[in-house]
Amino acid sequence: MENPYLPYPVRIDEIIVETEDRNLKTFTFVFLNPEDEERFAYQAGQFAELSIPGKGEIPIGIASSPVEKGFVKFTVNKAGVVTQHLHNMKVGDIMGIRGPLGNWYPWEGLEGKDLLIIGGGFAFTTLRSSIIYMLDPANRAKFGNIDVVYGARTPGMLLYKEELIEWEKRDDINMHITVDGTDDPDWKYNVGFVPPIVEQKAPQADNGTYAIVCGPPIMIKFTQPVLEKLGYDHNHIIMSLENRMKCGIGMCGRCGIGKELVCKDGPVFTLAEINKTPREY
Amino acid sequence: MIKKIAKDEWASGLSKLAKTYRLFGPVAERGPDGARTFHNFKALAPGELPDLDLGNTRLSAKSLVFPQSEAMFTYTLDEDRDDHHILKEVPADGMSRVAFGIRPCDAKALAMVRMNFDTPEYKDPYWLRLYEATTFVGLACDAPCPTCFCTSTECGPYHEEGLDLLLCAEGEGLLAKAITEKGERLLADAGWEEAADQDLGARKAAAEGCITSRIGTDQLAEGDLLDLHGADFWEDVAFACINCGTCTYLCPTCWCFDIQDEVFKQEGQRLRQWDSCMFPIFTVHTTGHNPRDTKTQRVRQRFMHKLKYFVDKYEKGIMCVGCGRCVRHCPVNIDIRKVADLMNRYTSDAAKAEQA
């Protein structure tokens, strides 16, 4: 019997400090057994349990993209027991990854549609995975217009800055990068919170437009009315939830929101689906 | 086919079985004066007989397949060893087991909990290995407790679901009814082959008649989940609760668990242990935000899970077998029978109001 609690052993291959407060690092992992990479085949929007023997496990969205091969990447905020330990680990250290877990953004249904991607703070990891996936030459033609609104507190708090600048230069994706505030005179992008930037820059919705929203609760709270104003139906607003998790496979019981389990039935839900739950997240 | 087991054959059959099976059964705990206090399921010592003179065990039979604490993996942190930081599965105990004296309610509960651990996408190897290795020998209830309400939960004192063999007392000896092939094999292995020209129908009806406590559940599936979640009675239901978690630990259908790492020097293990939705830490995020921060939210979660979420998710009735343990042992007398009635009535009242 296959043991769904057994992580794949991995080696830390690279560690990048992402933000100026040094609280976010991106870890690149390589599978110790090359055949495990095949078993870990994932879709943009899924997560995995990063598993550190002696410390425990932590559910983190997969930041690398299914079209990137040979490694997997996770961007981790330093917060609790496991992530603090992870931040002190070094290249070459051995740990585990268990997954991929949960559902993903509904890629099949999104083909042929225009997409508005809204991210805030460090909730941009599975959105990075998604953007890389859609911009891949084999996939770009499958999607319509892509608009991205991504905001952080300051320029130094944006994730994946080099890639953001690359995407800014492309004409097949409309980037709307913003920061809450900055004293950098060379900042040439937007200044303002995510919801008003969405209101100014995002396209009006029609039947063929979907929004994917990931961010802190306060951003989501104020973005929802803006999306409604722009005509986005609750069935067309796609979100990724977080809850405390242990098993990641729908068994341990703690991440339930009504009859739905965030780890297995989610983490991706439409707002229409979330409206039917007691919203205990 | 009903078999008869005389008193002396019982002991000799058990010693035969002990050669090929691990035997488990109710064993009485003893107080300071040596008197029997309450029963729990334990591994039987050589020659020890399961104590079948009981109401029901204090803790449910779930620990037979879902131990309160269980090692999942071991590992070493010693970097001089080649396999450091790589988890290794704890070898499974391959030996067959027999659980004697499990009440029909607990057996049904295990069959129900299987839906959580045995899914199309994932199988929990720890739970399933022990469940499949075990032959469940039930003990029918001829004298149910006053808090039992199993006849309102699609169960009952002679219910056979989840059992391989059903025993009931007959004079000094026992009657045994094989329900599955596993049960028939056990009868043969123990040498209990004397046919009894009897039928359990009348005894079953008499036992069911002894159960006077009932709950209504017929409206639960119809009701709106969010309406019930927002019902006005949850503060009252939870008012006296001290979130001690006793109900969840005693409950045969509660399965929530935690996973923790424990390390001694360089050697570690990953363990899973029972957890409880009554505890605030069960759901607290690393940020400190807790989606079920108040005791009312946690009490509501327990009852909504058993009596509404489970009903909606599986469409197989409520996640309660009516064993009555939580009713008997709640230190502040919260009674699931009353809560079920409140929820059921709230739903039917809402339906009536809509029609009016």
**B116 and B255: one domain?**
no
Contact A6 B75 (CB under 8 A): no
Residue B130 is assigned to a structural domain of this protein: yes
Contact A53 B261 (CB under 8 A): yes
Residue B82 is assigned to a structural domain of this protein: no
Contact B285 A243 (CB under 8 A): yes
Partners of A280 on chain B (C-beta within 8 Å) are 283, 291-292, 297, 301
Mean pLDDT of B14-42: 94
Distance from CA of B337 to the nearest CA of A (A): 21
Q: What are residue B5's DSSP bridge partners? A: B174
Q: Is the Cα dihedral B62, B63, B68, B70 positive or negative?
A: negative
Longest dimension (CA), chain B: 76
Residue A259 is assigned to a structural domain of this protein: no
Q: Is the pLDDT of residue B22 over 90?
A: yes
Mean pLDDT of B212-225: 92
Residue A267 is assigned to a structural domain of this protein: no
Alpha-carbon distances, residue A58 vs A37, A163, A241, A246, B70 (angstroms): 20, 26, 15, 8, 20
Query: Phi/psi of residue A92, each to 5°?
Result: 100, -20
Residue B356 pLDDT: 63
Residue window 233-272, chain A: list those with CB within 8 Å of chain B: 242-244, 246-247, 249-259, 264
Length of chain B: 356
Domain count, chain A: 2
Alpha-carbon distances, residue A162 vs A18, A44, A168 (angstroms): 11, 20, 10
The whole-angstrom separation of Cα B142 and Cα B168 is 8
pLDDT tens digits for range A187-238: 999 999 999 999 999 999 999 999 999 998 889 999 999 999 999 999 999 9
Block residue for tokens 């399961």: B50
| DSSP code of residue B308 | I
- Structural domain boundaries enclosing A71: 8-100
**A148 and A72: one domain?**
no
Mean pLDDT of chain A: 96
Residue B77 is assigned to a structural domain of this protein: no
Residue B87 is assigned to a structural domain of this protein: no
Nearest CA in chain B to A83: B286
Residue A8: how many other CB atoms lie within 10 Å: 22
ipTM of the complex: 0.93
Residue B336 is assigned to a structural domain of this protein: yes
Pick from B87, B282, B301: CB nearest A7: B87
Mean pLDDT of chain B: 94
**B243 and B200: one domain?**
no
Residue A16 is assigned to a structural domain of this protein: yes
**A47 and A158: one domain?**
no
Partners of A89 on chain B (C-beta within 8 Å) are none
Burial class (CB in 10 A: 0-12, 13-18, 19+), B332: exposed
**A146 and A88: one domain?**
no
Q: Which of A68, A100, A132 is the last residue of a domain?
A: A100
Residue A251 is assigned to a structural domain of this protein: no
Residue B74 is assigned to a structural domain of this protein: no
| DSSP-assigned letters across all residues of A146-198 | EEEEEEESSGGG-SSHHHHHHHHH-SSSEEEEEES----TT--SEES-HHHHH
The whole-angstrom separation of Cα B344 and Cα B296 is 19
Task: List the strands of the sheet with B88-89, edge to edge.
Answer: B88-89, B69-76, B267-274, B257-264
Pick from B87, B117, B291: CB nearest A6: B87
Contact A264 B121 (CB under 8 A): yes
Residue window 290-329, chain B: list those with CB within 8 Å of chain A: 291-292, 297, 301, 304-305, 308-310, 312-313
Partners of B276 on chain A (C-beta within 8 Å) are none
Contact A252 B304 (CB under 8 A): no
Block residue for tokens 């009242």: B349
Domain count, chain B: 2
**A159 and A204: one domain?**
yes
Partners of A54 on chain B (C-beta within 8 Å) are 75, 77, 261, 263, 268
Contact B125 A3 (CB under 8 A): yes
Task: List the strands of the sheet with B173-178, edge to edge.
Answer: B2-5, B173-178, B165-170, B134-139, B96-102, B21-30, B36-43
**A121 and A83: one domain?**
no
Q: Which of A54, A74, A100 is the last residue of a domain?
A: A100
Pick from A2, A95, A242: CB nearest B85: A95
Instruction: Give residues with Cβ within 8 angstroms of B288, minimum separation 6.
Output: none
Q: Domain of A204: which CATH number?
A: 3.40.50.80
**B129 and B176: one domain?**
yes
pLDDT tens digits for range B52-76: 999 999 999 999 999 999 999 999 9
Q: Domain of A52: which CATH number?
A: 2.40.30.10
The whole-angstrom separation of Cα B335 and Cα B318 is 16
pLDDT tens digits for range B305-345: 999 999 999 999 999 999 999 999 999 999 999 999 999 99
Q: Is the pLDDT of residue B237 over 90?
A: yes
pLDDT tens digits for range B96-113: 999 999 999 999 999 999
Residue A247 is assigned to a structural domain of this protein: no
pLDDT tens digits for range A80-131: 999 999 999 999 999 999 999 999 999 999 999 999 999 999 999 999 999 9
**A116 and A228: one domain?**
yes
**B97 and B244: one domain?**
no
**B102 and B197: one domain?**
yes
**A90 and A155: one domain?**
no
**B234 and B305: one domain?**
yes
**A236 and A113: one domain?**
yes
Pick from A55, A94, A249: CB nearest B261: A55
Burial class (CB in 10 A: 0-12, 13-18, 19+), B6: middle
Residue A57 pLDDT: 98
Residue B226 pLDDT: 94
Q: Which of B179, B209, B239 is the last residue of a domain?
A: B209
Distance from CA of B316 to the nearest CA of A (A): 14
Q: Which of B160, B179, B209 is the last residue of a domain?
A: B209
- Both ends of chain A: CA-CA distance in Å? 33
pLDDT tens digits for range A5-15: 999 999 999 99
**A178 and A162: one domain?**
yes
**B15 and B43: one domain?**
yes
Residue A31 is assigned to a structural domain of this protein: yes
Bond preceding residue A267 cis, omega within 30 of 0: yes
**A165 and A222: one domain?**
yes
**B181 and B250: one domain?**
no
**A131 and A210: one domain?**
yes
Mean pLDDT of A15-32: 97
- Tell me whether strands A209-214 and A114-120 are parallel, antiparallel or unpaired: parallel
Structure tokens at B32: 């300071």
Mean pLDDT of B293-300: 97
Residue B351 pLDDT: 67
The whole-angstrom separation of Cα A214 and Cα B214 is 47
**C-alpha angle with apex B313: B312 to B316, nearest 5 degrees?**
75
Select from A57, A98, A251 the residue whose CB has the most chain B CBs within 10 Å, as the one to mutate to test that interface: A251
Mean pLDDT of B146-150: 94
**A44 and A81: one domain?**
yes
Residue B302 is assigned to a structural domain of this protein: yes
Block residue for tokens 């399921």: B41
**B136 and B34: one domain?**
yes
Nearest CA in chain A to B310: A259
pLDDT tens digits for range B239-262: 999 999 999 999 999 999 999 999
Residue B219 is assigned to a structural domain of this protein: no
Residue A248 is assigned to a structural domain of this protein: no
Residue window 174-203, chain A: list those with CB within 8 Å of chain B: none
Q: Which of B166, B184, B209 is the last residue of a domain?
A: B209
pTM of the predicted model as reported, rounded to 2 decimal places: 0.94
Partners of A250 on chain B (C-beta within 8 Å) are 116, 119, 121-122
- Structural domain boundaries enclosing B299: 225-355
The whole-angstrom separation of Cα B144 and Cα B150 is 9
**B317 and B180: one domain?**
no
* Residue B77, CA atoms < 13 Å, CB-side half-sphere: 14
